[in-house]
Amino acid sequence: MNAYGTLLKKLIRFTNIKLTNLAEIVGYDTSYISKWCNKGKLPAAKAAPNVNKCLADIFAREIIIQEEATLFAAEFNASGPYDESSLSSTIFQLLKDAYKRSYDNTSENAQLAGLSSQRMLLWQLDIKNFFVTELPQLLHQLNEPCQILCTMDICGFLKDLSYETGRQAYYTNPVHIKMGINLGGHCKNNSYIPQLYYFLNHYNDISFDFYENTCMDYMNLFIVKNCIAVQCALDKDYRISIAHIITDTAQVNSLYQKVNSEFTLSRLMIHSSDSEELFYNGYRTEFYAHNAFQIMVAKGFEFLLPPEINPRLIQAARDQGFDESMAQLVAHLGITWEEIFEKGAIDFYLLKTNLIRYITDGTIYFADVVYHMSVEERKKHIQHVLDLVQKNPNIRFFIIDDECIPNSEHLFQMSVYNNKRKLFLKNMEHYDTRTHLGPSFYTMQNETLIGGISQYFSELQSSSLCNVYGSEDVFRFYEKYGIMIDRMLSIEE
């Protein structure tokens, strides 16, 4: 165990603070802190000063509350005075020194040193190890946002990707990747659509922009600005057979500049975006100008809400620190959806596990606002859904049995909003973490891509994984399961 992990674990035991409480205050998941304590991992160098200051403040406060300052001084060989501010400074210095010793001696840095020289990888095992293990380690250690270019067609790699387990670590610094996509190459049918969706979900902390790559596919380059470049030779199955690693910074950045100009001239197909950009470039307004929708909800259910919820959402936007423009956006969206619900044709695709989670949890994501529906609000929501589908038979629900899809808990993090002319994805994980990395949205900029996704959803309706509920079916469903739903709600109440 490194010095930092040993010290951190000792401080946690001395103060007897719960790991969950510590994680909530520091702003990291408990799994990260557990790895700092037990597996020799370290906070990212850029984040370490803030993390250590926060930890020091928490421990100092607990020591003062527990009146254990004198015992702390003896246990940790620290001198007075013993007020909270002085204790915090002392603990911060202990953590800072332990971090430096651990960082200098970490085996990860020794492994990364191997990347400082140019190499030629000829064997599949070495190539896989580089892209799966060494390269992610390198990106995690960088103390600045990562800008990456990949000229190769993402569709050529999708068939070989596996998502059998969730990712063990997420990036703590922003990572942005420009990548190629060729809808006329490996994307010859709609089979790539779920794989591309799963890919974006699996790497939801990374922002991707996909460009039409027919003019640069031959380059076979992967470049991390200011860091490393990989020139690849591909076999007939589009697998990397040789990888030439370039680490000379001048060469890497020359390649980056040349290749980036090729992306600038290429057509943007899928764009990572945020709520403000989506609103001000008119994409959101144009999306709601139509009245036929396919919407797949990954978390919560922010649609068909009772009118009295809208003012509460507006107030929640203000309470959560958004400026007045967000409150206005929430108000505008509330009115827009009410009008669409009256006559519009809407196919909702709902994950079975998400539907159950919403009934018991009540969390919805409206624009950028996270709102927890009370039990009474959820009951009114259910009744309002029943009332609306009775008035508008063009609203249908398709319940997807996601439990039959392996690793589904990691592969459905993005909701899909589609009117068959405009389409965007909403990254729900962006709103459910404290780091807020990855994009808020992805907008689809290509008609062929939107058409393929629309067709895929239409075909999904007849799948064995999917059960359809029209207006009359919804009532029969509620007659059958209404008592169970009420009991689930009453447990929380």
Q: How confident is the model at residue 478 (pLDDT cuts 50, 70, 90)?
A: confident
- pLDDT > 60? residue 468: yes
Q: What does the pLDDT look like over 347-366, one tens digit per residue?
A: 999 999 999 899 888 999 99
331 assigned to some structural domain = yes
Whichever domain contains 43, its CATH number is 1.10.260
Rounded to two decimals, the pTM is 0.74
**486/270: higher pLDDT:** 270
353 assigned to some structural domain = yes
Q: What does the pLDDT look like over 127-146, one tens digit per residue?
A: 988 988 888 888 888 777 89
| Nearest in space to 435 (alpha carbons), one of 182, 201, 173 | 173
* Residue 121 sits in the same domain as residue 253: yes
Q: What does the pLDDT look like over 388-447, one tens digit per residue?
A: 998 999 999 999 998 888 777 778 889 999 998 999 999 988 886 555 678 999 999 999
* Residue 93 sits in the same domain as residue 225: no
pLDDT at 476: 81
Cα–Cα distance, 423 to 346 (Å, whole number): 14
432 assigned to some structural domain = yes
pLDDT at 241: 93
If you average pLDDT over residues 4-30, what whole number do you get?
Answer: 86
**Burial (CB count within 10 angstroms: exposed 0-12, middle 13-18, buried 19+), residue 236:** exposed
The residue from 105, 123, 139 where one domain ends is 105
Domain that holds residue 124: 115-270
* Residue 282 sits in the same domain as residue 266: no
Query: How much of the chain, in percent, has pLDDT values that exceed 90?
Result: 38
Instruction: Decide: 148 and 225 in contact? Cβ < 8 Å.
Output: yes
Beta strand pairing call for 441-444 and 268-273: antiparallel
Whichever domain contains 228, its CATH number is 3.30.870.10
The residue from 238, 270, 302 where one domain ends is 270
The type of residue at 358 is Y
pLDDT at 45: 79
The residue from 105, 135, 167 where one domain ends is 105
322 assigned to some structural domain = yes
404 assigned to some structural domain = yes
pLDDT at 110: 45
pLDDT at 188: 65
Cα–Cα distance, 263 to 253 (Å, whole number): 15
Q: Among the listed ranges 53-62, 105-114, 176-185, 454-463, which one has the minimum average pLDDT value?
A: 105-114
pLDDT at 112: 47
414 assigned to some structural domain = yes
Cα–Cα distance, 360 to 348 (Å, whole number): 20
- pLDDT > 70? residue 166: no
Q: What does the pLDDT look like over 109-128, one tens digit per residue?
A: 444 445 556 889 999 889 98
* Residue 335 sits in the same domain as residue 364: yes
Domain count for the chain, please give it: 3
* Residue 261 sits in the same domain as residue 280: no
* Residue 258 sits in the same domain as residue 312: no
If you average pLDDT over residues 457-464, what whole number do you get?
Answer: 89
* Residue 290 sits in the same domain as residue 265: no
Instruction: Decide: 333 and 397 in contact? Cβ < 8 Å.
Output: no
pLDDT at 313: 93
* Residue 312 sits in the same domain as residue 389: yes
145 assigned to some structural domain = yes
pLDDT at 168: 62
Instruction: Decide: 259 and 223 in contact? Cβ < 8 Å.
Output: yes
Torsions phi, psi of 240, nearest 5? Answer: -75, 120
- pLDDT > 70? residue 263: yes
* Residue 286 sits in the same domain as residue 261: no
* Residue 247 sits in the same domain as residue 220: yes
* Residue 58 sits in the same domain as residue 176: no
Tokens in use for 51? Answer: 């993390």
110 assigned to some structural domain = no
- pLDDT > 80? residue 104: no
Instruction: Decide: 183 and 446 in contact? Cβ < 8 Å.
Output: yes
Q: How confident is the model at residue 480 (pLDDT cuts 50, 70, 90)?
A: confident
- pLDDT > 50? residue 108: no
What does the mean pLDDT of the chain come to? 86
**Burial (CB count within 10 angstroms: exposed 0-12, middle 13-18, buried 19+), residue 420:** middle
* Residue 69 sits in the same domain as residue 194: no
Q: What does the pLDDT look like over 274-311, one tens digit per residue?
A: 877 887 777 777 888 878 899 999 999 999 999 999 99
